[in-house]
Chains A and B, each alone.
Chain A
């Protein structure tokens, strides 16, 4: 191996180590320290490792909630996606804009949806009581499933819309000449869309497995909540780690099964030039199903706004709630902004050095990070930093920032890596002929080409970090509170105007971020068109 090759491999290796430190080091270290000194008998270990009795029931609750939510999201996304795709065939860019907006809707914290539906049924029950009818008890598994499905639907839908956008229009043209629109959808489009449908479903399943804020608010106990509760009661990291193994195993198996499909999710978006104008009209019964699912999505997007505005009472009250929580909001913004900046910078280093050679390693590390329950990440961070060497970091603002980077950093590098792989390598190679330095190529060519991916990654991490709950609950420094934790704690006391005001504030941030991303894209397109 040449010296340059050796150095290149060394740098690649270092970048992979950085990636590993970001994604998996807290839990890996937790595993080592816990097993070195666990103090548990083998019987106790096996009981924690293999769910039985009550824990088995909780485990089954988690699996069934995950499966049913994923199934419903995939079905709804297929109908809604086909409608939006059909509608935007003449204006293909709109499909991209809608997919981006839906993606930002997906980043709203799940507890907002819980609050929305709790508040909605409280309004409905008030009207029913006035009419002398008995109200609904919107609690239990069905309530939890419905709210979870509504919370994750945008995530699955944005993946499916991206899938639709990536289908080569020529393949559809070729099919349209010989088959009916429904047959084209079933036999050509859906198989081409299958990787996106399965990837969307797998994402919903994984997130649903680890989610406990929705089920807990609807009085459903799940396995993810058990991990958090057990650690809170016993303060034993090894118990949390062992309890997490079944959840991580199911997550790992899901990712192993879904990975080939994730790989097949095309990132090659056809150029805008081809506008399809041939009529593509589905049968009436199919259109009715499409409208039904579209109505669901409209409810998903608009109900939180309407209910929250209604419950908050007035914009003065919203303003009052926001001002009363100014310290939590400032702290949340500080943590999320710092977390997203650190995540993006690390992602740039990792992607720059590994994207061509170590793509599988990056995917693997992202997969691992998706399998680790949020609370276990928090416990791992405590284990990593709660010692004499890092005491200056433990108990500081660094901890929630580290929680955000550990949880969402891998998403940042996957988004940037996907954008990087779509770049035309010859654009960078062309710059080399002009004898400019590597730094100039990096800042003036590569960074600018990557900018949409960097912005998307930064915004994604920022919004997810704003709503982060599971890990932050455990690593929050004394005297500090985040917006999401304040809302989550208040939610246990029911719907109130102050909670509605704060939730509305987060929803508006999501809308503004989504619209800002679209505005940036439109501006960029205009720049290229000119």
Chain B
């Protein structure tokens, strides 16, 4: 195993069940620092669950997760999500409805001085071509705009690891291209380790250096 892998994400023999139904069974995955990994697989194969386990939102039933060479999760212990330096782009935008678009992004930039954080947020919004909606609330923007905001919010704190869970499903092709371009540009610029879940072969081609297939334990 190389040092490079140690500094990235390591998933070791991870298993997970929900209510007696096995979702993940003995899954292994190594993602080197700064690499881009695409996870594909049938519906219900546990792709999203794997991302949630890496992010610390779920506890694995078995196996271990290492981030930057350090143990982040086992079936008995887990590091708090906020201490993992992980960003997460959910399937749905999950924007906090009581905050404006700008406030949604600033929430993750609390460690920066307010002025600097605002400048960074506005800059990213403009790069995502949604600078004009900074002061709007989530219920005042379109679904496509909400997905862009969600993307910007996850990227803004410059996390070391970024989990992206089928964020561009149901988007028109032009919007998808713009957002993918923006995402890949930022991932490269910030040197993030990306794990990207998708069903789309087109996205696999654009995003993936490494493609990992996960099958449901029942079909494997």
Contacts and interface: CB of A to CB of B under 8 A. Distances in A.
Interface in A159-188: 168, 170-171, 173-180, 183, 187-188
Contacts of B81: 173, 176-177, 278
Given A276-B57, A279-B78, A175 B107 contact: yes
Contacts of A178: 82, 107-108, 110, 157
B157 to A, nearest CB: 6
A279 B90 contact: no
Contact of A170 (B78, B82, B92, B110): B92
Interface string A194-217: 100000000000000000000000
Contacts of B84: 177
Nearest to A176: B81
A174 B88 contact: yes
B96 A176 contact: no
Given A176-B81, A177-B87, A179-B110, A277 B94 contact: no
Nearest to A281: B80
A180 B111 CA distance: 12
A188 B97 CA distance: 9
Contacts of A273: 18
Given A168-B94, A171-B96, A176 B82 contact: yes
Contacts of B157: 178
Nearest to B87: A177
B57 A187 contact: no
- B interface, size bucket: 20 to 34
A192 interface: yes
Interface in A266-311: 273, 275-279
User: Binding site of B, secondary structure by majority: helix, strand, loop or mixed?
Assistant: loop
Interface string B16-35: 00100000000000000000
B38 interface: no
B57 A179 contact: no
Interface string B82-126: 101011101010101111000000011010000000000000000
Interface in B148-199: 153, 157
Contacts, number: 68
A187 B97 contact: no
A276 B55 CA distance: 12
B57 A278 contact: yes
Contacts of A177: 55-57, 81-82, 84, 86-88
B87 A173 contact: no
B96 A277 contact: no
Contact of B98 (A179, A192, A278, A279): A192
Contact of A279 (B52, B80, B99, B153): B80
B59 interface: yes
A276 B52 CA distance: 10
A257 interface: no
Contacts of A170: 90, 92, 94
A179 B81 CA distance: 9
A277 B107 contact: no
B58 interface: yes
A191 interface: yes
Contacts of A179: 82, 107-108, 110
B78 A278 contact: yes
A188 B96 contact: yes
B72 to A, nearest CB: 12
A469 B159 CA distance: 61
B98 A176 contact: no
A355 B10 CA distance: 54
A275 B52 CA distance: 11
8 contacts: A170-B92, A173-B52, A173-B94, A177-B55, A178-B107, A179-B82, A180-B82, A277-B58
Interface of B: 18, 52, 55-59, 78, 80-82, 84, 86-88, 90, 92, 94, 96-99, 107-108, 110, 153, 157
- Give the top 10 A-B pairs by smallest Cβ distance, nearest first: A178-B108, A191-B98, A170-B94, A174-B94, A277-B59, A176-B81, A177-B81, A278-B57, A173-B57, A278-B81
